[in-house]
Amino acid sequence: MTADARADEENNMLEIKGLKVKLEDEDKQILKGVDLTVGAGKVHAIMGPNGSGKSTLSYVLSGRDGYEVTEGSATLGGEDLLELEAEERAALGLFLAFQYPVEIPGVGNMTFLRTAVNAQRKARGEEEMSAADFLKVIRAKAKTLKIDADMLKRPVNVGFSGGEKKRNEILQMAMLEPKMCILDETDSGLDVDAMKLVSEGVNALRDAGRGFLVITHYQRLLDHIKPDVVHIMADGRIVKTGGPELALEVENNGYADILAEMA
Amino acid sequence: MGFLQQKQEATAALLDGISVPAGAVWITAIRDAAMARVIENGLPHRRDEYWKYTRPDTLTAQDVIPAAPFEHGEAPMFDDIDRLKVVFVDGIFDADQSDDLEGEGLTIECLSDIVNKDIHWAKELYGQLEANGQTPVQRPLAALNTALAEDGIIIRVTGQVSRPISFFYKHEDENSDAILHHVIKLEEGASLTLLENGPAAARFNKVLEVYVADKAAFNHVRAQGRDHERRAATHIFGRLGTESSFKSFTLTVNGVLTRNECVLELTGDDAIAHVAGACVGDGDFHHDDTVFVTHDAVACESRQVFKKVLRNGATGVFQGKILVKPGAQKTDGYQISQSLLLDEDSQFLAKPELEIYADDVACSHGSTSGAIDEDGLFYLRARGVPKDIATDLMTLAFLAEAVEEIENEALADCILTRLEGWLERRRG
C-alpha cells in the first residue's frame, strides 16, 4: 500500500458501530444496532426489504432532523458524524444521493451547485472557486452525464424527469468530490438506459480513495455498479454480509430464505 | 344611529374645512362628485367587511404619523434599464430631477397642468374607473384621492413604446402626506411598461387608472419603498379591451402599513390579466393585497399570484375575488395566495372569493400558510449549504412563482436583487 492509499484509508473510512436510532417524536426504534465499515475505495451495497431501515440509515448518517440516536457511533475518517450539522458532514466529505431529489423553484441549478461547492470549500478553509473555473468544470462534467446547458440553467430539479433528477444528483456528486457517497435507491424510477447512464457516472467517480454505500432493492443496479461487499438489512440490523453473489441470491430467491435462515 | 350614519358623521368631521382644489370646470365636477361619494359612503372603518384585517384609522386620520426616511436612502432601482424617469419628492412632481416629458408613441403630461385646461382628452377618463370601481365594493380612499389629488401623470400611448416609463417616489419630509393620481390610456395595439419605486411619503395615497384598448398591452413592475415607518394605500384600476393584456407585479419590502388594491375589469373577449405580488415583512409590518377581477367577456384569462414571507410578528392579508358575470363563458381564472411564516408570531389572513354566474368556466383558487419546506432545507444542507443561506434560498424558492410572473428578465433581476439584499441584511 502506498503512503497516499494509507492516508486515504484513514481519512475516508466510514465506521458505524452499534448504531441504534429511534424516531424523535415517536417511540419507534428503527435501527437496532447497525455495524458497518466501508473502507476507502470500496463499494458496499445494502439490500433489504421495505421498512428494514436502509433509508433511515442514509438520513441519520447525513444529518436529517427527526431521528434520535440512542446508542452507538458513526465516524468518517475518525470524525464523529453524529455531532455535526448536515452541512458540516457534507464539508467533511459525506454525500447523499437522494432517492427523491427535491425541487427548488427559483434557484438555478448552476447557482445552487456553485453555492454548495464554495460553501464546502469555505468550511474547509480552501479557496473558493471562481465563476469562470466553475463554469469550465461543470460544463465538462455535465457533458459526460448528458446534461445540457438548459438543465444547468433551470431551477433545481423543477420539471426534471426521473432520469434527469438522478443524473443531476450524480453531477452534484462529481462537482463536490466527496470522500464517501451514499446512494439511496438511485435506481428507483429509472429505465434501463437511464440506469446505465447513471451507473457510468458513478463508476467514473470510483477511485482508490472514495467509498460508496449503495442502497438498493434490486440486483440490477449492482450489475452496473459492481460492489465489493453486499449486506442484507432487515428489521434495523445487518443480518448477512457477503460478496456480490449475495445480491444474486436475493434476486433469485427473494429475502424470505435469508430471513428464515436468520430466524 | 346606524353604522353608515356614524361613518358619514365621522367622515364629515374629518373632512371639515377641506375642499377640492381649484381647476377647470370639468375637473371640478369630477372632484366634487368624488367628494360626494366619500361623504355618502364614509371613509373606511374597521367594521367594514373589507377592512376587517387591516385597520384603516391611520390612513384616514387628519394627522399623519411621522415616518423617518430610510436612513441609508432608497437604493437605486432599475438603474440599468433605459427608461424615461419621472421623479416625485414627497408626492410633488420634480421637473429638475425628471427627464423631459416626451417620448415616441406617447404624450405625457402632469395632472397639475391639465387641470387648468378647458379641453383635454382625459376629462372623459379621469376618475371614471375609480367611480366605476366603487361597486360592489366601496373604495372610499380612492374616491378621496380623485377628489383631492393635485399631482400625477397623465399618459396617452398610441404606439409600441419600447422604453419604460419609471416613476420614482422620493421621501424626504417625515411628515409628508402625498396624494397622486395617474391615468394611462393605451390606444388600440399600443404597449407600455411602467416601473414604479420608492416610498413616496410618510403617508401615500395613490391611484393609477389604466385603460387598455383592444390588442394593447400594459406591463407594470413596482417596488414599494423600504422606509420602515411609511404607510401607503394604493389602488390600481384597469379596464381591458379585446385581446388586450395587463400584467402587474409588486414587490413590497418593509413599510409599517401597506394596502394595495387592484380592481380589474375584463370587458373585451380574449383579454389577459395577471396581477402578482411578493412581499417580505419583519416585525410590525402589515401588508394587505385586496384584488377584485371581473370577467365580463368571453374567453378571458386572469391570474392572481401572491406570496408573502412574514417573520417576527409580521401580518399579511390577502382578499382576492374573481367575479364571472353571466355570459363570460370560457373564463380561465386562477388565484393563489400563500404565506411563508418564519415563526409562530407572524400571521396570514386570507379571504379568497369566487362568484360565478356562467356555466362554462374554469376557476381555481388556493390559499396556504406554512413554515419553510424542511425537505428542501435538508437537501441544500446535505450539499454543504449552511442553514442560514439554505433558508434564504428556500425563501426565494417560495417567492419564485410570483417573481416569475415578470416576463422581462432584466426587470425580474432587479426585483431578485432587492429580495436578496433584504434576506442578506437579516442574516446578520
CB contact under 8 A, B383 and A112: yes
ipTM attached to this prediction: 0.95
- Top residue of A84, A92, A102 to mutate, by most chain B CBs within 10 Å, is A102
* Residue B313 dihedral angles phi and psi, to the nearest 5°: 85, 10
Q: pLDDT band at A126, cuts 50/70/90?
A: very high
Q: pLDDT band at A234, cuts 50/70/90?
A: very high
In this complex, the residue of B383, B401, B404 whose CB is nearest that of residue A172 is B383
What is the CATH superfamily name and number for domain A3-101+178-261?
Answer: P-loop containing nucleotide triphosphate hydrolases (3.40.50.300)
Q: Which three cell numbers stand for residue A132?
A: 469562470
CB of B390 within 8 Å of a chain A CB? The answer is yes
Q: CA nearest A230: which of A6, A38, A52?
A: A38
Is the model's pLDDT at A25 over the cut of 80? yes
Closest Cα in chain B, distance from residue A240 (Å): 29
Q: CA nearest A120: which of A59, A43, A179, A167?
A: A179
Shortest CA distance from B405: residue in chain A: A106
Alpha carbon distance A22, A66 (integer Å):
9
Q: CA nearest A27: which of A71, A64, A70, A65?
A: A70
Cβ neighbours of residue A83 under 8 Å, at least 6 residues apart?
none
Q: Where are the domains of chain A?
A: 3-101+178-261
Closest Cα in chain B, distance from residue A66 (Å): 11
Q: Return the percentage of chain A with pLDDT > 70, whole number.
A: 96
Shortest CA distance from B385: residue in chain A: A116
What pLDDT is attached to residue A253?
Answer: 86
Task: Give B82 or A259, the one with higher predicted confidence.
Answer: B82
Task: Give A252 or B95, the one with higher predicted confidence.
Answer: B95
What pLDDT is attached to residue B425?
Answer: 86
pTM of the model: 0.90
CB of B394 within 8 Å of a chain A CB? The answer is yes
CB contact under 8 A, A87 and B387: yes
Q: ∠ at Cα B182 (B176, B184), nearest 5°?
A: 160
Cβ neighbours of residue B364 under 8 Å, at least 6 residues apart?
B333, B334, B335
Among the residue ranges A84-93, A249-258, B69-78, the one predicted with the least confidence is: B69-78
CB contact under 8 A, A104 and B380: yes
Cβ neighbours of residue B319 under 8 Å, at least 6 residues apart?
B50, B53, B288, B289, B290, B291, B350, B351, B353
Length of chain A: 263
Radius of gyration of chain A (CA): 18
CB contact under 8 A, A155 and B400: yes
Q: Which residues of A touch B403 (CB under 8 A)?
A: 106
Average pLDDT over residues A76-101: 96
Average pLDDT over residues A184-207: 90
Closest Cα in chain B, distance from residue A258 (Å): 34
What pLDDT is attached to residue B74?
Answer: 65
Shortest CA distance from B396: residue in chain A: A106
Closest Cα in chain B, distance from residue A246 (Å): 31
Closest Cα in chain A, distance from residue B299 (Å): 28
Cβ neighbours of residue B335 under 8 Å, at least 6 residues apart?
B303, B304, B320, B322, B352, B354, B363, B364, B365, B366
Q: Which three cell numbers stand for residue A109?
A: 441549478
Residue at B392: amino acid letter: D
CB contact under 8 A, B394 and A104: yes
CB contact under 8 A, B384 and A119: yes
Encode pLDDT of A159-171 as tens digits. Answer: 999 999 999 999 9
Closest Cα in chain B, distance from residue A91 (Å): 6
Average pLDDT over residues A60-75: 97
DSSP-derived 3-state class of residue B100: coil
Q: Answer positive or negative: Cα dihedral of B427, A106, A127, A42.
A: positive
Alpha carbon distance A12, A7 (integer Å):
8
Shortest CA distance from A60: residue in chain B: B382
Alpha carbon distance B191, B158 (integer Å):
8
* Residue B118 dihedral angles phi and psi, to the nearest 5°: -75, -30
Shortest CA distance from B375: residue in chain A: A102
Q: Which letter, b or e, does each residue of B154-178 get, where b requires 16 or more Cβ atoms within 10 Å of its Cβ? A: bbbbeeebebbbbbbbbbebbebbb
Q: Return the percentage of chain A with pLDDT > 90, whole number.
A: 75
* Alpha-carbon separation of residue A42 from A9, A181, A240, B393 (angstroms): 10, 11, 18, 35
Contact indicator for B362, B332 with CB cutoff of 8 Å: yes
Is the model's pLDDT at A7 over the cut of 80? no
In this complex, the residue of B382, B399, B404 whose CB is nearest that of residue A96 is B382
What pLDDT is attached to residue A256?
Answer: 84
Q: pLDDT band at A218, cuts 50/70/90?
A: confident
CB of B378 within 8 Å of a chain A CB? The answer is yes
CB contact under 8 A, A112 and B380: yes
- pLDDT tens, per residue, chain B with 428 residues: 799 999 999 999 999 999 999 999 999 999 999 999 999 999 999 999 999 999 999 999 999 999 998 877 667 789 999 999 999 999 999 999 999 999 999 999 999 999 999 999 999 999 999 999 999 999 999 999 999 999 999 999 999 999 999 999 999 999 999 999 999 999 999 999 999 999 999 999 999 999 999 999 999 999 997 889 999 999 999 999 999 999 999 999 989 999 999 999 999 999 999 999 999 999 999 999 999 999 999 999 999 999 999 999 999 999 999 999 999 999 999 999 999 999 999 999 999 999 999 999 999 999 999 999 999 999 999 999 999 999 999 999 999 999 999 999 999 999 999 999 889 888 86
CB contact under 8 A, B382 and A86: yes
